[in-house]
Amino acid sequence: MRRAVAAILFLASAVPAFGQPPTIALAIRDHQFAPAELSVPAGVKVELAVRNEQAVPAEFESTSLHREKLVTAGATISVFVGPLDAGTYEFFDDFHPATRGRLIVK
């Protein structure tokens, strides 16, 4: 688990070679976000690659990030966020409100 967190932090803090924001993978499976908590550095724009591994549609929604996107079954979407101030930003699946995650910006 520590290696996965370290890899996410490395990718989030890496300077992209072609001016593209770093991409962080986020899955939706069994009505849960995996991982449920992501860490990114403050002041950096990032792309969240959200893959719905379920047989039903899901939604990536965040009031604090001002984002709402449908993720059809088996599909992957991109959600660009940032640069963000330090803090915690919650996201959820509006079709299944108990499905929640957090983006921690440091």
Report in angstroms the alpha-carbon separations of 15 from 21, 22, 35, 44, 91.
8, 8, 23, 10, 25
CA distances from 35 to 20, 46, 78, 104 (A): 23, 16, 16, 12
- Count of structural domains within the chain: 1
CB-based contacts of 49, cutoff 8 Å, min separation 6: 23, 24, 25, 26, 76, 77, 78
pLDDT interval class at 6 (50, 70, 90): very low
| Residue numbers of the domain that contains 47 | 2-105
The model's pLDDT over 62-77, given as tens digits with 9 standing for 90+, comes to 999 999 999 999 999 9
Task: Tell me the per-residue pLDDT of 21-52, one tens digit each, with 9 for 90 and over.
Answer: 999 999 999 999 999 999 999 999 999 999 99
- Mean predicted lDDT score pLDDT of the chain: 88
> Residue 27's domain is classified under what CATH number?
2.60.40.420
